[in-house]
Structure 1
Amino acid sequence: MLHSIYFAVRMFIVSFVVLTVMFHYIFSASTLEDEQSAIHQTMNDLSDALLELSNIIVIAENEELASSTSLNKRSYIYMSKAEVEPETSTDAGTVDLLSQYKNALDRLGFITTSSISGNFMIKDWQAHSVLYRRKLEPSVVSTIFDSTRCRELNICKTKVNKYRVSYMHEDALSGNKLFTIFKGVNEHIDIGFNVHLNSNSYYDDKNISIMPPNTKKNQKNYVISVKYADYPDSLLFYRSEYADIADGIIVIVQIPFLYVLDIPLKFSGILSFFIAISIFYFHFIQRITCESELHKEKSMIDTLTKAYNRRYFDYYSEATSSGVLAVIDGNKIKEINDTLGHSAGDSAIKLLASSAQEIIRDEDYLIRSGGDEFVILLNDCPTIEIATEIIEKIQNRIIQKSKYKKEFREHKISFAYGLTPYSEGDLYDEIIEMADFYMYENKNK
């Protein structure tokens, strides 16, 4: 059992390694190609969105450029204000610039061709008002401009012409997980868009982290790090993808080695498991069968003569071929036992058996049926005459070997025999009974 398990484990390891290498070449190239294509498409979407932010700013300031842009389909935008205390409210002049943006974009029939068409937002930090695709409640606008929240999420006013990326956070409007990229237009207005992770299937199995510039680490740019959620960071990376999507913003995607090997490992693991189970089953069954056959073989061997014993006929009750069956019965073996003792009797029986084994062929069988009685199956022996010649040779061999044993010089060893032919399918009990009859006739003579 343990040997079969050990053998199956070894075969599992070998097949797993071989299949992994094979499936790696079959699947990994296409997997990596598809993933890189998705990465590049996502990076292009971010770059296109930032480009259109720049278009919005330019077009709002110069309506003559409208004909050269993609802002050509009707989509109204709305201006919403936060609730402020009367003494802290701003005068009408502070809202004029944001109103100018709104009027300019409305006259153009504003919409964009990228994902920012529904996610852009222009914020006026002085007037606490926003331009958005739908009207917002004053309380929601107040939340957007909340000073504590903006510091925690890194979405406070940025410098003119300077991009900033917020930390990952939940949208105040929809509750979606997102990050915001925005840019300062002037001293108190910035324009940006929200990247909703649920709007792009690429982000489904990814974790996004935002790393702001850090002088201690000599990091000058915002880094949008995309990591694979199901794979630990400590593993080696198969490939890393970088893209400068805007001035001061870098996207880094590191493809884990296990991601590329995911399909090969799964396929090879499943196939190797079935291979190992199959090998274990057949190896175990083979061992059980071999051990059973060995046990059966040992149980049929006579310990004194090394010939087969009577159990042979328990396992094989009928003939499997044709031939001649001989029953032989030792003469004077009892006399040797009584005169010289059981040791000499055993020696006489062994002499009888060894003489027979030296004469008969490998395909013939010598079976000790009891005491000094033996059965010889001469398989494929064609006639009684040939069988008689073989039996007589055994008699002569016993006589020759007896000459060299002192205890048998006075007590001549011989045997009586009976022969009967048999055919395939004949029952051994009936054949032996017939041969016994002839053997006793021979013995009486």
Structure 2
Amino acid sequence: MTQTYSNPNVRQDVWPDVARIPSAIKAKAGAPIAGTLFRAAVRRLPVSVQLPDGSQLGKGGPEMVLRDPDRFYARIANGGLIGLGESYMAGEWDAPDLAALMTVFASRVSQLIPQPLQALRGMILPQQPRRERNTEANTRNNISRHYDLSNELFAEFLDQSMSYSSALFDSLDVSSFEALEPAQHAKIDRLLDLADVGPGTRLLEIGTGWGELALRAARRGAQVYSVTLSSEQKELAEQRVAAAGFADSVRIELLDYRKVQGSFDAIVSVEMIEAVGFEFMPEYFRILSDRLAPGGAIGLQAITIGHERMLATRNSYTWVHKYIFPGGMIPSAELIAEQSALNGLTVENRMAFGQHYAQTLRLWDEQFTRNAAEVGRLGFDETFRRMWHFYLAYSRAGFAAGYLDVQQFQLRKAKGNH
């Protein structure tokens, strides 16, 4: 079959599904239907969709410039939201304020597709590949595909703490990137407080990041054992720990959380649970309980989604799975509470702060855009930069619309519970 390619600036060897125009029967036959559904949906929305002939759809609002409708519709027909993201990566559509546009879509996600077609989503849309299930054999590769991209890349949009999770601001009226680092420290300190971390605490951290939480725990006098599956993160985190003079207080190991042994007074895990996968949630909570000493506490930070939405989408394969986080699944607060209870853990404290994540992502995206030229010099091409901007804006929209939330949980193991 002769392949048809889209943007000649997209490298076919690196981005095959972005460079290639879908040519399967599903794409060809479905494109007119996708076009009809899309146009019908946006006519009802507070957006402004600009078409190549100069006409406009929508009730007015954040702008979407649709440069190549036929290719856009073919991608939507072929892959749903995966096609939406790939079409953006290919430059077939654009938006002056991408996050604002995506927020409108995210806030009306249940209205965009007619209910009868939503029921067929499992038959129509791609399913998660078995190679991305978070088994012990697969998880290292899944994590590496994201976190081992380049420490230098992440440094181009994260603050000095190198914290890659939601910050906790004093106020949502955030204008300066400089507000990010103290807000990240506030988030970390609250989690350490939830886990009762202090002098002499034996702390297990599941998911090291670049070491900021381990450092702040060590400054409290804790003995920290931190595990990660990212070799890049481990290397930089160890350098930061040594430079701060805490090499005797912090040990970082390249290890799957399922292989951790021993007993700990406290456990902290920040936005790592999203990489566990639905089928492995029972095992994750069993290990939390097994590793926690009686009377101990856990500080858990998790991105969450509504329970019914989680059940409906838990096996879905999305653009985020394909390009950003292979094998991931966002849990609901109900699932966390249920699995905690089944494993002898009680939820004693819970705080939701999703709008803080929207602000965190805004600051990251603005910083990434400011440093786009430097990101290019690091070897990341325009398609990657469009992908990363879409990822940050897409994620921000989820929190801004309330489709996603982020929560901190305090879990406690009873003193007599061995």
Task: Provide the TM-score with structure 1 as the length reference.
Answer: 0.19
In terms of fraction of residues, the more strand-rich structure is: 1
Task: Provide the TM-score with structure 2 as the length reference.
Answer: 0.20
Which structure would you say has the larger Rg?
1
